[in-house]
């Protein structure tokens, strides 16, 4: 269980405000003129996608606490009402910056490059005719306008769907005059439509679905006068709740809960900035929101819909140069994957090195007659994953296939339900882990009959078994036939699929049992070395740092003289560089082309240099409410690779690394040294193909 100790509130920064600070760093990528233009547009969209989830989960949680009269404070000591007030203020400001960047910088720059989003006021007559015909043939048949009157109450509006509020004048065929209607844009309709090249007047001309509807919405209300048409979008609470004590069948419970995600309590209303005050007030009333929840935006209400544009525009000069992931040297020639792993441990660094060896391990295992069993965890893998196809083939060939599917992987629940059903159809054993604990560990085990008995081949990773995200998430994967690690992984699978007490493991640290105490012990060992006058060093890289007891241990280590560097991509509650508290702690966040995802933990250990890789961040949920594994890198050569590639390269980054101060602010400090980007350097060292490195 999480520790019950209370620590001083001024030792911690607020989680929600730290998350908004992270999104400001992502937005800075969109503002950076050195980033290719289409990638700047993509970063802008990523901010919108991140903010959607922020409101769906974090802001929704705050509003729920306030509604229930909760006054409990977090480690930072702020009551939910104060957090909500500050979050709302900063979110409005951030979104204002985002739209200013879009309208004043990025769209004009795209227009100069022949990539234009055509405004209604500037349509030529021929453009208007084509757009009108498209609206009449492709859009209008699937629209269902809903007039608001006693027999047509306000419709249920799906989470994050595109809608239009229409103000009307006049009476219809039945003499009704409600003055208002709602038009919902079906999700099947594309939000961005490409015009034929001969009409657009530019190389790449697009028109928004919202522009079409604004222009021709009157055709949905024959004989009536349209006074105003305003796009709007509501964000709802999307956190699923399944009662651990009441649930008897997790899969059935989740299937019953998922449809309600689209209709949770409203938490944010986005409307076009030209929306009339009476209509804005009416919509707020319908969704049970107040003025602080209203976000007026000068443009389309969902910038995520622009995410597809870079892939639809053939302008490689405006995108990151392509690259082909390399392979570890041991795998660069023709190889048998089992033979290669038997000879030595293999470390793969994604996305700079290919995920193909992991796929080949599973592919070879699925058809190898000597392979008896395959066991794997699935957290996020995608609906069309090649890995799943190999698991299905293995099960069809009669191998013992066991898959631990995490049904509660947020926003991947439906995909994982589908995967589970397909696996069960071919006779695979599908289990859902332990109710109340998400299975977040990334483990693959292949049991093979060989000359001297059974041998286990293991893959452990810091990231998901998702071939697509391995192209742009940084992660490490370890392939090994080490029998002691194999025993550990087998023991964890036994816990997940069967019943029994947790046992001591040879090398792996496991949440919720040994990971937290072992991590604290490793930090305290460095404290002891420092107090004894010996060198002491901690370097840790992760996505988030929130767990208070770990943070307090780091403060103690700082006071003892331990030299500490933390590379934290996202949320960080620790205050670095505070006199008398954390003077020996530095925190940096690297934001670039790839999403920094690997978790690496380094302890100098009196010169032994212990290295651990994990799927777990330093958060309460990872330590106490998830099943995680943290595994050592034992081979000296691979250990040095992790130190060089995963830590030192990021500590020397002077162009994409944001340094954090004790108040939660971040800056990129100017450097007199030659420009050094960790991601670009790793691409140059390990990738294959055209790349640009300054």
Q: Is residue 477 part of a domain?
A: yes
Q: Is residue 645 part of a domain?
A: yes
518 and 494 in a common domain: no
Predicted pLDDT of residue 150: 58
589 and 440 in a common domain: no
358 and 241 in a common domain: no
Predicted pLDDT of residue 574: 98
Last residue of a domain, one of 485, 507, 529: 507
Predicted pLDDT of residue 254: 45
Predicted pLDDT of residue 243: 46
Supply 159's token pair: 């989470």
Predicted pLDDT of residue 172: 67
Last residue of a domain, one of 257, 285, 318: 318
CATH code for the domain in which residue 461 is found: 3.30.870.10
Sign for the pseudo-dihedral over CA of 147, 148, 154, 159: positive
Count of domains forming the chain: 3
547 and 483 in a common domain: no
DSSP 168-216: EES--TTS---SEEEEE--TTS-SEEEPPHHHHSSSEEEEEHHHHHHHH
In this structure, the chain runs to a length of: 694
304 and 347 in a common domain: no
CB-based contacts of 93, cutoff 8 Å, min separation 6:
none
Calpha distance 598→376 (Å, rounded) = 20
376 and 443 in a common domain: yes
Q: Which of 392, 334, 339, 329 is nearest to 361 (CA)?
A: 339
Q: Is residue 578 part of a domain?
A: yes
Q: Is residue 373 part of a domain?
A: yes
Q: Is residue 655 part of a domain?
A: yes
> Collapsing DSSP states into helix, strand and coil, what is residue 103?
helix
DSSP 369-393: TTEEEEEEEESS--TT-HHHHHHHH
Strand partners, 232: 163, 271
Which residues are marked as active site? 440
Predicted pLDDT of residue 405: 86
478 and 338 in a common domain: yes
The H or E element that residue 599 is part of is strand 599-603
515 and 497 in a common domain: no
Q: Is residue 490 part of a domain?
A: yes
Predicted pLDDT of residue 535: 98
Residue ranges in the chain modelled with pLDDT below 70: 1-4, 70, 150-152, 172-178, 240-263, 382-384, 408-416, 689-694
202 and 82 in a common domain: yes
Q: Could you tell me the residue range of the domain that residue 662 belongs to?
A: 510-686
Predicted pLDDT of residue 175: 65
| 8 A C-beta contact, residue 640 and residue 611 | no
Cβ neighbour number for residue 400 with a 10 Å cutoff: 15
524 and 632 in a common domain: yes
522 and 396 in a common domain: no
Predicted pLDDT of residue 658: 97
Question: Phi and psi at residue 358, in whole multiples of 5°?
Answer: -70, -40
């Amino acid at each position: 269980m999480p520790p019950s100790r209370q620590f001083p509130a001024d030792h911690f920064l607020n989680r929600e405000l730290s998350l908004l600070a992270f999104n400001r760093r992502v937005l800075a990528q969109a503002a950076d003129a050195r980033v290719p233009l289409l990638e700047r547009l993509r970063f802008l969209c990523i901010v919108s996608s991140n903010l959607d989830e922020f409101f769906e989960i974090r802001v929704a949680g705050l509003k729920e606490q306030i509604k229930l009269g909760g006054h409990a404070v977090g480690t930072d000591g702020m009551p939910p009402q104060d957090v909500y007030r500050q979050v709302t203020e900063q979110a409005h400001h951030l979104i204002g910056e985002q739209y200013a960047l879009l309208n004043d910088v990025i769209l004009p720059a795209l227009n100069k490059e022949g990539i234009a989003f055509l405004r209604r006021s500037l349509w030529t007559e021929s453009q208007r005719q084509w757009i009108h015909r498209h609206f009449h043939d492709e859009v209008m048949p699937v629209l269902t306008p809903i007039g608001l009157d006693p027999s047509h109450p306000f419709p249920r509006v799906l989470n994050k769907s595109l809608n239009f509020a229409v103000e009307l004048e006049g009476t219809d065929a039945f003499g009704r005059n409600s003055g208002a209607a709602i038009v919902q844009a079906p999700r099947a309709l594309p939000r961005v439509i490409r015009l034929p090249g001969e009409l657009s007047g530019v190389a790449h001309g697009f028109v928004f679905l919202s522009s079409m509807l604004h222009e021709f919405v009157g055709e949905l209300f024959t004989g009536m006068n349209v006074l105003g048409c305003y796009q709007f979008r509501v964000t709802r609470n999307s956190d699923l709740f399944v009662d651990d004590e009441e649930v008897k069948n997790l899969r059935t419970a989740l299937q019953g809960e998922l449809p309600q995600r689209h209709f949770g309590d409203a938490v944010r209303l986005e409307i076009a900035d030209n929306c009339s005050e009476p209509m804005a007030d009416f919509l707020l009333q319908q969704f049970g929101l107040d003025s602080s929840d209203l976000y007026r935006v000068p443009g389309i209400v969902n910038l995520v819909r622009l995410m597809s544009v870079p892939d639809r525009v053939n302008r490689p000069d405006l995108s990151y140069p392509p690259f082909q992931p390399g392979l570890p040297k041991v795998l660069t020639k023709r190889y048998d994957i089992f033979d290669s792993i038997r000879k030595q441990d293999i470390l793969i660094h994604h996305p700079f090195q290919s995920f193909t060896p992991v796929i080949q391990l599973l592919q070879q295992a699925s058809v190898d007659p000597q392979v008896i069993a395959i066991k794997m965890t699935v957290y996020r893998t995608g609906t069309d994953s090649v890995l799943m196809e190999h698991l299905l083939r293995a099960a069809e060939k009669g191998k013992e296939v066991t898959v631990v599917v995490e049904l509660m992987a947020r926003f991947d629940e439906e995909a994982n339900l589908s995967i589970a059903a397909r696996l069960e159809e071919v006779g695979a054993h599908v289990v859902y882990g332990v109710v109340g604990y998400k299975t977040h560990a990334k483990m693959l085990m292949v049991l093979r009959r060989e000359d001297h008995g059974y041998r286990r081949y293991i893959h452990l990773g810091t990231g998901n078994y998702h071939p697509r995200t391995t192209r742009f998430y940084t992660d490490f994967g370890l392939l090994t036939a080490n029998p002691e690690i194999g025993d550990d992984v087998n023991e964890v699978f036994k816990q997940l699929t069967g019943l029994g007490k947790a046992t001591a493991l040879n090398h792996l640290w496991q949440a919720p049992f040994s990971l937290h105490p072992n991590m604290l012990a490793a930090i305290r060992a460095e404290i002891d070395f420092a107090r004894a006058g010996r060198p002491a060093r901690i370097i840790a890289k992760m996505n988030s740092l929130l767990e208070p007891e770990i943070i307090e241990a780091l403060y103690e280590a700082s006071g003892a003289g331990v030299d500490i560097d933390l590379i934290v991509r996202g949320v960080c509650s620790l205050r670095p560089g505070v006199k008398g508290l954390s003077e020996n702690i530095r925190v940096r966040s690297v934001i670039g082309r790839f999403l920094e995802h690997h978790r690496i933990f380094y302890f100098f250990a009196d010169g032994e240099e212990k290295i651990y890789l994990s799927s777990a961040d330093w958060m309460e949920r990872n330590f106490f409410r998830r099943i995680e594994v943290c595994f050592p890198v034992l081979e000296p050569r691979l250990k040095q690779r992790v130190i060089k590639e995963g830590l030192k390269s990021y500590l020397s980054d002077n162009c994409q690394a944001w340094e954090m101060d004790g108040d939660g602010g971040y800056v990129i400090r100017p450097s007199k040294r030659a420009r050094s980007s960790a991601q670009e350097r790793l691409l140059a060292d390990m990738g294959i193909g055209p790349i640009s490195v300054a």
